[in-house]
Amino acid sequence: MSIIRKRVLVLHGPNINMVGERETSIYGKESFDSINLQILDYATSLGLECQTFQSNSEGEIIDHIHAARQNFDGIIINAGAYTHYSYAIRDAIAAVKIPCIEVHFSNIHSREEFRSKSVIAPACVGQISGFGKYSYLLALQGIQNII
């Protein structure tokens, strides 16, 4: 008898691929690839199947959210700067009707004023920010308990 694992999609938005190189005082020095490996390993340890995807393109992110409704039980998203103004991503999250957790490396509420507003948050079940790469790991724990 095979065990059916819950599937989670982790979406990284614009510039997240530059983590470890850009603004290391905010985002840390660890590479994007290293963080992705840790996300995948931790998901496996929680009994979750996980796939990651990064894009600097709003349309590609929306396409992956739409496709997730047929292939995934939950979404974890760091929409990067799109967090603050992409009503299209917000509407895509609301449309798929699967749980989504918003994550951020930094505490968006303690940075520049424009970063404190998330237009995608109302479509998500929760938001985790300020814990660096651990924001993703905390989100995996959270999503595991609601899917």
| Catalytic machinery residues | 27, 104
Q: Which amino acid is at 131?
A: F
Lateral strand order in the sheet of 74-78 = 48-54, 6-12, 74-78, 100-104, 126-129
Cβ atoms of residues 74 and 145 within 8 Å: no
**C-beta separation of 116 from 109 below 8 A:** yes
Q: How many CB atoms lie within 10 A of CB 66?
A: 12
Q: Are 108 and 118 in contact (CB under 8 A)?
A: yes
